[in-house]
Structure formats: C-alpha cells, structure tokens
A and B are shown apart, each in its own frame.
Chain A
Amino acid sequence: MTESVRPGFQYSPLEFVERLSLRYGAPPHAAALTELPRGVAEPVHEVLNLLWLFGTVAGARHADRIWFSAAEVQALEESLLTSGLDEAIRSPLAVIVGTLARPPRRTKPLAQACAAAAEWALEVGARETASAFLELAALCKPNSARLALMAGRTLKNNGKLREAEYWLRRAAKLAQWSRDWKTLVLSQNSLGILWWNQGAIARAERHLFRGLRFARKYHLKLETAMANHEIFVVRVTSQQFEGAEAFAQAALEHYPPDDHRLAPLSYDLAYYWLMRGYVRRAEPLLEGLLPRFPDPPHRTQVLSALARAAGATGNRALFDQAWRDALPLVEHPSGANVRAAVLIDLGLGARSFRLWSEAESCFSRAARSAEDLSQHDMLIRAQTLLKMPR
C-alpha cells in the first residue's frame, strides 16, 4: 500500500492530487497511435511517452538522478532532427526532446514547443494528440497556471468537459496563489462557459461574476469586457432577459474598437433579438455578419440563427440558402460543443415552413449530440420540441 507525503501546497484539496495514476484512467497520448499515419505516429508517440514520463518526475526532489542520461536523450533528439518528418512537427519534437535532455533546470521552451506541436496536430486533424501535447506540457510544469488554463481550454473545446473542469479549476487556484489576476479571470470565465455548456446556469454565473469582480478590481479592461460578454450570453440563453442588455453594453464599452470579439458580440446581440422576437432587426445583422465568420463552427451558428430568423420572417429563399450552407458544416468535428444548439435552430426554422420531417430529424440529432456531451438543457429542449404537436 502506498504512503504519501503532501506536495508543495499545504492545504491542497482533492484536485491537487498529483499522482498521474489517480488523475488519469489511461495516458492521454495513446490517441497518437490511432490518429496519425504510420511513420509519423511512432516518433510523435515516443516523444509524448517521454513527456508523460517526465510528468511523473516533474517537481520531484533529485529528479535529475532519476531521469535518463542527457546523452541518450540527445541521441533521440538527433535521430528526430535527421528524420524525414514534416518540418512543422520535426522542430517542435526535437525542441521538446532537447529540453528534456537537461531537466529540471531549463524547461522553459517546453510549453512553446508543445503549443507548436499541438497546432500542427490540429492542422492534420489529430485533435486528441493536440490535447495530449498541451495536457502533458501542463503536467511537466505543474505550477504553471497559464499552461493549466491552456490545457483546460483545449479540452473544453474538444468537448472533454470533465477533464477540462479539472484543469480549469486548477488554473484558477494556481493563478490565485501566484496572483496572476489575468489568468484567474480567464479561468473563471472558461469555467463559467464550461458549466453553461452543461446547463448549470447558477454555477456558470457564479464563476463569471467572480471573474468580473477580479477584472474590475485589477483594472483589466479587456477581461472586464469578456466577462460582461459571457454573462450577457449566459443571461440570454437562460432566458433571463431583464438587465441582460446592460452587460452587452458594458462589453461594447470595454472592448477596444478593433477587437476581433466585437463580431461575436454582434452575433450574440442579434441572437438575443431573435429570442425576444425582434426578428426583422436580427435578420439583416446576421446576414451582414456572415462574411466575418469563415470558420465552420462559428459559421454554422450564424447560418442556423439566420435560418431560424428567416423562418420567423417567412423569407423562404433566405431560409433555403442558409439551410443548404449550414447542413454540410453541422458535423464538422470542431463544432461538437455547439452542434445541438445549431440543430435546434435549424429545426425551428424548418418548422416555421412546416417541413416536419426535416425539423424532427434536426431535433433528434440535437438530442443525441446533447446527450453525448452531457448538455442537459439542450437535451431537454430538443426532447420537448420533439414531443410538440405539428
């Protein structure tokens, strides 16, 4: 039986359990073997395996005595540098291995190299491998709030909400302890969105208001705008319309004029109008916003809202166009989090034109997607819509 000594933080709660065997059911890097083609999978898996092992000794006393000899790890680095791998992954892998040849003194480039490797993995469609790089980077520097935040956000975007919650809570606490207020606000915002995604509105608001409080206290203008923006979204989607516009206005005032988040804020405002029944105001704004959203997950959201607005205004041509453009993008892997909401909007648009079978198909697909991701509010909504009479 094991007997353990408490780690660095004196009053560590349960989530600061550091033993990887308790934190993970399986190593996160196993996916590299399935996601990547032969010839690439092997070196990537080998490096991820090395990172995983480093995670088991990171922060341990006398880690350099336990760790591999520098010459051996450098030989691995050399074999990577001379391999025929794509330059975009070869360099980050070599930097990771090169850094691990000299632990624990200099591990600074590790985070950047892992981020670069994750970016490459995302580009080749290996989402789990990308998550693994960021998660393992955070494991290798267990006291870094920023790395924990990065890992949490990536997992959240991949729909791995349970794992994301762990990293985000950890990021918030590390940031509070290290007085990194910006990371603290961002972690609280992400936690808020995470709970909102799962339909826990009160809990989501608690995190978001905490983030807002810290952002105001430490005069973080951009983060204040972001927190206000998120609260506006949560209020609107949970049908708490009273006073919601004040948060949108506060966000608008705090965002810099050229900030890229202004377009999403405009979309959220248009969606709010759509929900309040101001469809004629929402429709042109959504149409105008389309060119600002080229990425599939966001574009699908705008298109589905436009289809719903066109259904409400009876604009069949616009509905058909939005429906045709949205459908091929719905199953895009990066849009897993919003898939249920998108399908519900498309279904509502179809129902306005009495396209019953299309609407029902959208609602049942939405229910399945919501169930897969534990999005309870979406699941209830989809099931209610499915039961509604024609």
Chain B
Amino acid sequence: MTLPVRYTKAFPRTILLHAGGRFGGYTSLGGYEVERFARWGELLERAARVPTSTVLLLEPHGQAGSVAPEFWEVLGRFRSLTVIAAVPLSDVSSVELRRMQMAGVSEFLNLRLTHSPEMVARLADTAFARPLKQRVDAALSRFLPGDARALIRGAAEVAACAGSADDLARIFGVQPPTVTKWCEALRLPPPRRLQLWLRLLLAAQLLEDVGRSIQSAARSAGYATDRSFRRALQEVVGKNPRELRARGAFDAVMAAFNAELREFRGQRKHPAALAARGAGADLAE
C-alpha cells in the first residue's frame, strides 16, 4: 500500500554521489536525478551550495577500510544535509554506526545487498528532509497529535523542495481544500501559513551550518533574495538573520512556531472543522 511517488519537473529531487562509487555509473535512480562528485574535497566545496532537495549518498569507507575524515567533516559542517551512508552493515561495529547516526546520517544503505535504482530511490524517499523533520519533531509541543505531526512532516518535505501549499496536498494525494480542512480539524495554521513556517525553520536550520552564508541559507530555503528572507523573518519572528544566528536560529524560530501552534490549539473548533474531523481521522466513530 505504499504510495507510488512521481516527480514533477518543477521540483526535481537529486542524489549526489561519488563518481567512482558503487552507484557512480547511474544517470538516474528511480525518480531522482544523479549528480556526481569526484573527490571529497570537491564535495566539501560544493556542500554549501547544494539545494535542500538533494540527498547525499556517501560511501564513507575508503580503500583501507577506515572512514574518510572528510565524511565526518561534511556531517559536522553541514548538519542540515540529508545523508545516506552506504556501508556493509554487518562489517561495521554498532559503535561506529551509532556515531554516524548521531553525526546526522539519516539512513544506511547495506552494501552487502545489490540495490536496484528503484530501491535506492525508495530509501532516499524515506530519508528525504530527515534532518529538518527530526529536529522539528523533537521540538514540537507534546500536545500535538500524531496526525498533525504527519502533516508537519509533509510540509517539511515540501519546504525542502521550495514547494507551495498546493504541493502539500499533492504529497497526501488529496485536493488543497482537504488539507485546509485537516488543518482546521487538527487546529493547525492554514496550509499556506504552515508552509511559511516550515520554510523559515528550514532557513533557520541552514543558518546554523558552519560553512554557510546568510545568502546561501536564504537561497537554499527557496527565497528569491536574502532581502525577502529578512522581510519574512522580521514579520514572523521579529528578528533579522544576523541576530538569529547569534542566538541559535532554529530554537528561536521553533519557539515562535510553537507559540503560534499553542494559539491555534486554544481556539474553539469551527463546526465545519469538526465535520471534517468526523470524515477524516475518526471515520469509525
């Protein structure tokens, strides 16, 4: 029952991988376009400009069998990038796997098995925008129900592709008014507003990357200019990017987002919203 996923041309997803690695010969993997890098140094140079709709498929173990130090450097400097580590799972100790997970590896691709391009794409789907989703998930209010969290995760995926509220509906395979009803029923901000928040959160997370400028963070989060990013930030959070960066950008934006979610939870449900809830989440009732 897993949803088949297709991609529109407007928002291509990309996998960035080693040219000389196991998957270096592929031109596309499932619905993902493939880009390559020749050396670790090249990856470190490019990482700051890599769009957030890119999944990094890295093979950390070199010829000698040890993990390349540049692999840890990429993870340490660019924590907002989605990384899949291709490793022979049974040959790597649990301590090292755990260390990779802690450093930001979203998924492991087991090199003991031959993955078809479609399988790699599915793995990339599950990992997609994971750093943002994981961080938002952990910081969300505990009073938020599971369905609301699924909707926010969807919005995070859309934000990573610089998509709009209509794209959020497409992710769930429904029409935009249905998502609006879901948002009302779950007492979330409307889809357009939700998308604005997730884009800001993405930009805030990118701001925390060591090797990224404000301009690069704004561009990667889908803002046309860093001025439009500044304006959005000032309107919603009341701070400019420089101030935010100095105080922990993500936490500051997340606190403002949680405050708005709290406001919405405090509102009485609209009768139409209750009806939507009846048709949706509590079908059996």
Contact = CB atoms under 8 A, between A and B. Distances in A.
Interface of A: 1-9, 11, 13-15, 17-27, 30, 33-34, 36, 38, 41-43, 45-46, 49-50, 52-53, 55-61, 65-69, 72-73, 76, 79, 142-143, 162-163, 165-166, 169, 172-173, 176, 206, 210, 374
Given A3-B7, A76-B112, A42 B130 contact: no
A60 B110 CA distance: 21
B158 A1 contact: yes
A162 B146 contact: yes
B119 A59 contact: no
Given A1-B171, A46-B110, A49-B108, 7 more contacts: A19-B3, A19-B125, A23-B153, A46-B90, A57-B2, A72-B112, A374-B143
Give the residue among A59, A68, A176 with the most B Cβ atoms within 10 A: A68
Contact of A13 (B7, B93, B118, B280): B280
Contacts of B8: 1, 3
Give the residue among B3, B119, B171 with the most A Cβ atoms within 10 A: B3
A173 B130 CA distance: 29
Taking chain A's interface residues, is the majority helix, strand, or loop, or is none over half, making it mixed? Answer: helix
B147 A72 contact: no
A56 B149 contact: no
Contacts of B90: 42-43, 46, 79
B153 A21 contact: yes
Contacts of B208: none
A23 B171 CA distance: 12
Give the residue among A4, A8, A172, A210 with the most B Cβ atoms within 10 A: A4
Interface stretch (B44-52, B94-102, B266-274): B94-102
B110 A50 contact: yes
Contacts of A68: 113-116, 119
Given A14-B182, A172-B284, A33 B97 contact: yes
A5 B173 CA distance: 6
A352 to B, nearest CB: 34
A15 B110 contact: no
A-B pairs with lowest CB-CB distance, top 4? A25-B137, A41-B94, A1-B11, A59-B1
Nearest to A167: B146
B65 interface: no
Contacts of A45: 89, 94, 97
A56 B122 contact: yes
B284 A173 contact: yes
Contact of A3 (B6, B143, B279): B6
26 contacts: A1-B7, A1-B8, A6-B3, A7-B1, A7-B2, A17-B172, A18-B3, A19-B125, A25-B130, A25-B133, A26-B130, A26-B134, A33-B101, A41-B94, A42-B89, A42-B97, A43-B90, A46-B89, A46-B112, A56-B2, A65-B116, A69-B114, A72-B114, A76-B112, A76-B113, A173-B283
B101 A30 contact: yes
Interface residues of B, number: 67
A4 B94 contact: no
Contacts of A36: 94
A143 to B, nearest CB: 7
A14 B151 contact: yes
B140 to A, nearest CB: 9
Contacts of A69: 114
B113 A73 contact: yes
A19 B151 CA distance: 12
Interface string B163-200: 10001001111000000001000000000000000000
Given A15-B147, A38-B93, A66-B122, A5 B4 contact: yes
A61 B4 contact: yes
A185 to B, nearest CB: 12
Contacts of A27: 107, 126
B75 interface: no
B67 interface: no
B281 to A, nearest CB: 5
A45 B91 CA distance: 12
Contact of B122 (A23, A57, A374): A57
B150 A17 contact: yes
Contacts of B6: 2-4
Contacts of B138: 25
Contacts of B127: 21
Contact of B1 (A2, A34, A46, A58): A58
A56 B1 contact: no
Interface in B52-83: none
A11 B283 contact: yes
A121 to B, nearest CB: 15
B246 interface: no
B123 interface: yes
A4 B3 contact: yes
A250 to B, nearest CB: 24
Given A3-B6, A3-B7, A34-B98, A22 B122 contact: no
Nearest to A5: B4
A79 B113 CA distance: 13
A206 B1 CA distance: 30
Contacts of B128: 21
